[in-house]
Structure 1
């Protein structure tokens, strides 16, 4: 068993998958020039310095300092550039697109679109499940501290998250949890062939999981554990979804309790031995979840919770040009308000924290301090969540959108 697990962690297994998809790392001796048919990618070599006192100021390069040597001194030292060859551009762009389905750009488009244009009932389930599984996945990385695949032999197509640990793959967790939560929340509520929904959920989960191997960011074991955890979580919690939703909408103490618990989880995030984006990203997720709880409760209190008319399962109406235009108008208005809310909350919270701690919060390194990063991220995205679930739906109602 131990030998089998070790084999699934072997970076050579990831490299073989990349080569089978037409992605190969150029030998070091061939990277001095840039060949016309080659797509450049950077990996960072050398002995990186640890960031002393994560709870205080980072010592050197903050976000670009990585203590295990694979991502170091990105701001102040010369980077060693490796290039890679792409023989199959169809798979290259397909897997890059799939990788984006597990990143922030997907969350800030798909989840609000579902809330404003499809069904708030489904959106609530998606957001609650996403927040919980992402927190467990992110915290597990910094507790287990299992490294990502090394380069070479692996080609690494991403650098922002290279400072994070690898086990488990939160892309695999999120993609599996969101796709199957969407399936479970809509079956019996809307009329569509279950087989098509199941195939779509499996396809999305598989594609995103394979993208983590293609981009060289996870081992096979990281991905398997991420998918397995998400499926196990859904199986254990699915019977409690209706009761949880009722509690979230009706109990007056629930929003305050959620905010307190979420902030404490953010502030007491597992201590890191080097700076990475995991704590900030996790705080952002928990803040958005807290704002969702507050917004949903307040919207229900005002009697604005969306309740479809007619018996279940509901038919899916055809998409007309008028409906498409309404959806676009709702989405554009909502995103615009979210951008303004984020800017206002971030600016004000950083200003107040700077005055409270007497530090210059314009400095990126200062923002990485625990007492700065967690409060400003949490407040900002809690406010964004509240706006998304209260102000935006109210304006949609007032403007007859």
Structure 2
């Protein structure tokens, strides 16, 4: 009897946390409302009790809960602009593009050791999150009642934004004391605030339920707790074992080719391939730097004091970021151009055939090799260019 009551309570809590109404209530509390005209059109009922054609029925939704027609999804009213900008910026911080920019910045301007830890955890967490989405196949919040600020075609559970934000923030918090002197309590507050903002932004944008976000946070926390005792051992293996680059290339590539298949096309496989490719490239690059005897890491003794921010340090940091990012963008464009044409020639398809690009035999090697090159260039080439330019 007691077990039945506990099960019923758990079902009730899960149902409440996964409800679209809870997301809509959070949006309204933050000053985000559907436009009056759109709301009126969706609630209007034709004569005879039939709903208007613009209203979505079950058959008008994709498998992931996303409506097949989203023309009305951008019709919203903002009554609290500070919160709007706060959450929009916060959700941008959780995008893959932001991490692919932020992680090299850490490598070039702070410490490659920290970047290595962050890339490793980011890759693992994002892969697990993406696979869980396509295995569980749970829908995103329904609209109406939720206002959608983005268009996504992946499934909802768990929130990979929440997973990545939690993993990045707390991996940095746990790794930094080994290398840099700082007040841990301040770092803890910053980590909690950043991960909370990114997580809440997914509710605000209507992309995830509260359950999606909470599960994302908990899964990341579990991965961190389980893996933390082995970070030093994995770091030593990654840098010194002769098999490290082989494993770093073969395992991610196998995971990409064996990604869970769906009955419709989704960005998930491509996004996961990008992440695994970048992670593999960085891993091989760090191993190669160790072999070459130049890792570009700060000299000890550790932990070191952070130097005071001066105009010279700021200028050099910005210059390194601009030059480095330009090199990575150029690498991406060149590799994508070359690999795409080679693959299209091999499979005898047109370069501009979008459908062909979505085929696994083209999408996986294209994205994996492109971002593998980006990871290698980021870790091996860019810092050497900085030395030649006098920026390092």
Fold shared per TM-score above 0.5: yes
In 2, distance between residues paired with 1:49 and 1:333? Answer: 50
1:72 maps to what in 2?
A: 68
2:17 maps to what in 1?
A: 8
2:107 maps to what in 1?
A: 115
In 2, distance between residues paired with 1:70 and 1:256? Answer: 40
In 2, distance between residues paired with 1:45 and 1:374? Answer: 38
2:44 maps to what in 1?
A: none
The CA deviation at 1:147 is 0.2
Structure 1 residues 276 and 66 mapped into 2: Cα distance closer, same or farther (>3 Å)?
farther
Q: Among residues 159, 181, 189, which one is paired with 1:191 in the alignment?
A: 181
2:26 maps to what in 1?
A: 17
The CA deviation at 1:364 is 1.8
SS in 1 for 2:75: strand
1:254 maps to what in 2?
A: 244
SS in 2 for 1:108: helix
- Tell me, yes or no, if the aligned pair for 2:73 and 2:148 is still in contact at 8 Å: no
SS in 1 for 2:307: coil
- The question of 1:83 aligning with 2:92 is answered no
In 2, distance between residues paired with 1:215 and 1:18? Answer: 8
2:123 maps to what in 1?
A: 131
The CA deviation at 1:30 is 5.8
In 2, distance between residues paired with 1:232 and 1:251? Answer: 27
- Tell me, yes or no, if the aligned pair for 2:108 and 2:383 is still in contact at 8 Å: yes
1:236 maps to what in 2?
A: 226
In 2, distance between residues paired with 1:309 and 1:154? Answer: 52
- The question of 1:166 aligning with 2:156 is answered yes
Unaligned runs of 5+ in 2: 1-9, 42-53
- Tell me, yes or no, if the aligned pair for 1:48 and 1:71 is still in contact at 8 Å: no
SS in 2 for 1:19: helix
In 1, distance between residues paired with 2:39 and 2:305? Answer: 59
Unaligned runs of 5+ in 1: 33-43, 51-64
In 2, distance between residues paired with 1:360 and 1:122? Answer: 42
Q: Kindly tell me the number of residue pairs found equivalent between the two proteins.
A: 370
- Tell me, yes or no, if the aligned pair for 1:46 and 1:69 is still in contact at 8 Å: no
The CA deviation at 1:337 is 1.1
1:53 maps to what in 2?
A: none
Q: How does 1:291-310 map to 2 (within 5 A)?
A: 291-310=281-300
In 2, distance between residues paired with 1:173 and 1:45? Answer: 33
SS in 2 for 1:24: strand
Moved more, 352-361 or 148-157: 352-361
Q: Among residues 293, 308, 318, which one is paired with 2:308 in the alignment?
A: 318
1:211 maps to what in 2?
A: 201
In 2, distance between residues paired with 1:262 and 1:157? Answer: 32
In 2, distance between residues paired with 1:182 and 1:49? Answer: 45
The CA deviation at 1:47 is 7.8
- Higher helix fraction (1 or 2): 2
The CA deviation at 1:303 is 1.0
Question: How large is the RMSD of aligned CA atoms in angstroms?
Answer: 2.0
TM-score normalised by L of structure 2 = 0.90
In 2, distance between residues paired with 1:167 and 1:368? Answer: 23
Post-superposition CA distance 1:306-336 (Å, at most 9, x none): 3433322211100111111111221111111
Moved more, 110-119 or 356-365: 356-365
Structure 1 residues 351 and 48 mapped into 2: Cα distance closer, same or farther (>3 Å)?
farther
The CA deviation at 1:31 is 7.1
SS in 2 for 1:191: coil
- The question of 1:392 aligning with 2:388 is answered no
In 2, distance between residues paired with 1:382 and 1:236? Answer: 27
Moved more, 251-260 or 383-392: 251-260
Post-superposition CA distance 1:246-268 (Å, at most 9, x none): 11111121111121110110111
- The question of 1:374 aligning with 2:374 is answered no
- Tell me, yes or no, if the aligned pair for 1:31 and 1:83 is still in contact at 8 Å: no
